[in-house]
Each structure stands twice: as structure tokens, then as C-alpha cells.
Amino acid sequence: MNIKTIRAPMLLAGMVMVTPALATNGYFGHGYGTKNKGLAGAGAALPQDAMIAATNPAGLVFVGERLDLGLAAFSPMRSYEVGGLTAMPVMPPEFPLAEGKVDSDSEYFVIPHFAGNWMLDKDASLGIAVYGNGGMNTDYPGSASGGMGTFYAGPAGVNLEQLFINGSYARKISDTSSFGISAIFAYQRFKATGLASFGANGLSVDATKLSDNGTDTSTGFGFKLGWQGELLDNLTLAASYQSEMKMTEFEDYSGLFAEGGDFDIPASWTLGLAYQLSSSDVLVFDVQQIFYGDVAAVANPMMPALGLCMQPPFGAGDIGRCLGADNGPGFGWEDMTVYKVGYQWAASSMPGYLWRAGYSYGEQPIPESEVMFNILAPGVMEQHFTLGMSKSLDDSELTIALMYSPESTVMGINPTVASSSQQIQLQMSQWELEFSYSW
């Protein structure tokens, strides 16, 4: 590949830097790369393109020299519904929400990615991949709650975007096994609006760093390790581990996130199997674990922290349990385990085509007790159904993947209402259509 070949993806990297990255397993993506997404994110043991670096860098040495450019159209439909106690914007000690259903705006996003792999010799390669690791977006109108906004402070929502720049090295151990390592630079952008009511009522360590401060950024580094090898004839095992990304703090939101604006990216691991049924037919199965529970801003529960933060006689007046404190409220997310299965095949009647289908399931990470704050981050998706196709051209390839995630919900009580008489239900469904072109 020459410099002219590389110029296009460098320009695309700039697009990725300013494009919202939306995600579906919590706030991680359901897959990385168009072929991988056609298999519902399975395929750690089935390297097919340079985007394998995002799942298992050991696979790079088996994909040859190539460049992959992709673009996804992603549409999440988010909403929340409140029933029960009639809301009054009074706090403390209670913060009841207005009854009714509210839909989030901004339902369409465009997300690019690119990846390249260069063979150093027949047994080693270097790769680079630029992609959105994950994120979350909500945008509730100011017309909610009788024109006062979801939390009585105008239009409410968050926008979290995570970009990874992944540089990888892979080497064969034998003809059928390899290892790989990636150095990852992570870049985050975050914005929150409509949360000033929490600060006005003394529930933040710094009300000026809680809401409506524009977009703040954060950077950090981490690594990924990968291995794959043939266990038996036609059966390949793969394993990868991605470290926790230690990120700089969102200083403009140090009164919102626990630990003074700290928002690290959790570690994860993946195990995968690929069974080659024929020269072109393969069955894949992956298990992924995401450690949301290790990041305080994501995992700390809302209660009892928020209640202890309130001033007497409503609470203990403990500033160490307020928003932004080390032990302050987060989103209450738990670790997430995702199971993925995919099948890839060729039809003799259509030479040059490969077809894919996949399904994944992971219990969503939001407990019923944490629905109120997760109005902002309703990562409730559990199932993903996918289809995909690749068409070989002369010296290139076109790939398409379609994902549908049916509506998933979680319902719980508003924990700030002592009588527990107000119910909140979070809802979301999604679809995504992605195209990529490869040389």
C-alpha cells in the first residue's frame, strides 16, 4: 500500500473524531467491523479483515495485506415513561417526575471506521484501526414535565462518544496459531444538559461542574492481548483481553461523575470458537465479559448515596456521598456477559458471495433500582439479530451488515419518592445498516 492509498483513511479518521459513537451492549458496540457485525459480533476466532484488531489482534497475521473502510447508519429509539405519583418539582426530600411518555430526539447517526494491515513478512504484520468503541446519547425535549424539562431544568440528556486508535502487532507461532498485542489510544467527548436541579438542591460537590458546561474531552491509554490456535482439525479457539483504560478526568463535569469527573473505560475479555464446516461454511461462537462494575462513575448506585447526601433532617449531610464525590452516585450498572453465535456460508448458485447471520444475547446491566438516573443512559438492549453479505470484486470486496435489536425495557421505582409510588420504565430499540469497501 502506498501513501495515496493511505490518504483516504487518514481523512476518515478526522470524521471519526467528531462523529457520535453509539453502542448496544451497555455502551459497547455489538461488534466491530462489517463482517463481524454480520455475525452479531461473533468471530474472535475467524479473522476476515483488518478490523479484527478491535476484537482479537492475533488474527491480523491471517488476513493478509488489506485496507477496510466502513460507514454505518445507526438509529436508536429511546424513551422513558413515568406513572404513579403526580409530580411536583420540589426537592428535598423527594424528586417526583412528571407522568407520561417522553421520546428522545436525535434518532439517526452516521458512524465511520477504517483499518489497515501490512505484512512485515509471511509470519508477522502491523495493523492500525480507528473506530468508535462505544457511547451513549439521549436528547429529551424541554417540553417534558409541563415545559420544564425531564429534571425541571430545561432540555435534558447526555452525549458520550468514545474513539479508539488501535496500533497492533501480530506474529504466527505456528502455521495455525498466533499472538497479537495492541496499544490503544482512547479519546472521549462528553456533554450533559438539564441536570442543574440536582445542584440547586445541594446534591453535588460542585454545582458549577454538574450540567450545561458544553463538551468536555478526556484521553487515556490501554492495551489488548490476543491469541488464537487450532485445537482440532477445523476447530479454532481464540482469546483476547482488553485492559481498563485509565482516562483523564472530565473536569467540566467533576460535580456529576463520581471521583471528581473520572470516567475510565472498563476492561473486557472475549473467548471465541470457529468450526469450519466446509471450505466456505463456518459456525462461530463468542462469549464477551464487560466489567462495568469496576468503574465508579458507571457502577455506583444512586441510593443510598443521594439520600445520605441530603441535609438533615432529610439525610445525613454527608458531602462524600454527593454527585462528584468518590462515593457519590453513578448509574448503578453491573457487569455484562454477552453470548454471540454466527453462521457464514456460500451458495454454489451465487459464486463470489458470502452470506452471514447472527444472534447475540446479554442481560442488560441496569438494575430495576437504578432506572431514574438511567433515563439519561438507557443501555437496556439485550438481543441483536443480524444479517450480512460480502461480494468479491476484482481486487476488492463490498460488505453489508444489517442489525435489528428489538425493544427492551426495564421498570423500577423512583427511589427519591419515599412511598415508592412512582414507576419509571426505560425503553429502547435499534437498527443499524453498515457498508464497507475493502482492498
Q: Each residue of 110-127: pLDDT tens digit?
A: 999 999 999 999 999 999
Going from the C-alpha of 110 to that of each of 41, 113, 161, the distances in angstroms are 19, 10, 13
Q: Note the pTM of the prediction, 2 decimals.
A: 0.93
Rounded CA-CA distance 127/11 in Å is 17
What pLDDT, on the 0 to 100 scale, is given for residue 8? Answer: 47
The DSSP line for 217-284 is: EEEEEEEEEEEEEEEETTEEEEEEEE--BEEPP-GGGTTTSHHHH--PBPPEEEEEEEEESSSS-EEE
In this predicted model, what pLDDT tens digit does every residue of 283-329 receive, in sequence order?
999 999 999 999 999 999 998 888 888 877 777 889 999 999 999 99
Rounded CA-CA distance 373/252 in Å is 19
Rounded CA-CA distance 78/436 in Å is 27
Residue 244 sits in a domain whose CATH number is 2.40.160.60
Rounded CA-CA distance 336/25 in Å is 8
126 burial type by CB count under 10 A (0-12 exposed, 13-18 middle, 19+ buried): middle
- Position 349 pLDDT exceeds 50: yes
For cell 424513551, name the residue: 79
Domain that holds residue 91: 3-438
pLDDT level of residue 1 (50, 70, 90 thresholds): very low
Amino acid at 322: C
Rounded CA-CA distance 346/84 in Å is 54
Percentage of residues in the chain having pLDDT higher than 70: 92
Amino acid at 240: S
In this predicted model, what pLDDT tens digit does every residue of 149-184 receive, in sequence order?
999 999 999 999 999 999 999 999 999 999 999 999
Amino acid at 90: V
For cell 444479517, name the residue: 387
301 prior amide bond cis, ω within 30:
no
| CB 50 within 8 Å of CB 115 | yes
| CB 138 within 8 Å of CB 378 | yes
Least confident of 16-25, 67-76, 174-183, 225-234: 16-25
| CB 17 within 8 Å of CB 219 | no
What pLDDT, on the 0 to 100 scale, is given for residue 24? Answer: 87
Average pLDDT over residues 90-115: 86
| CB 169 within 8 Å of CB 187 | no
Measured on CA atoms in the order 314, 320, 322, 327, is the torsion positive or negative? negative
For cell 460507514, name the residue: 71
Going from the C-alpha of 125 to that of each of 57, 58, 120, 400, the distances in angstroms are 10, 10, 5, 26
The DSSP line for 160-203 is: EEEEEEEEEEEEEEETTEEEEEEEEEEEEEEEEES-HHHHHTT-
| CB 38 within 8 Å of CB 387 | yes
- Position 279 pLDDT exceeds 60: yes
In this predicted model, what pLDDT tens digit does every residue of 396-430 receive, in sequence order?
999 999 999 999 999 999 988 876 678 999 999 99
Mean pLDDT of the chain: 91
What pLDDT, on the 0 to 100 scale, is given for residue 115? Answer: 98
Tell me 311's DSSP state: P
Q: Which residue from 311, 305, 301 is spatially nearest to 334, judged by alpha carbons?
A: 301
Largest CA distance in the chain: 76
The DSSP line for 4-42 is: HHHHHHHHHHHHHHTS----SBTTB-S-SSHHHHHTTT-
Going from the C-alpha of 54 to that of each of 43, 184, 231, the distances in angstroms are 11, 10, 23
Measured on CA atoms in the order 49, 130, 260, 206, is the torsion positive or negative? negative
CA 290 to chain centre: 10
| Count of structural domains, the chain | 1
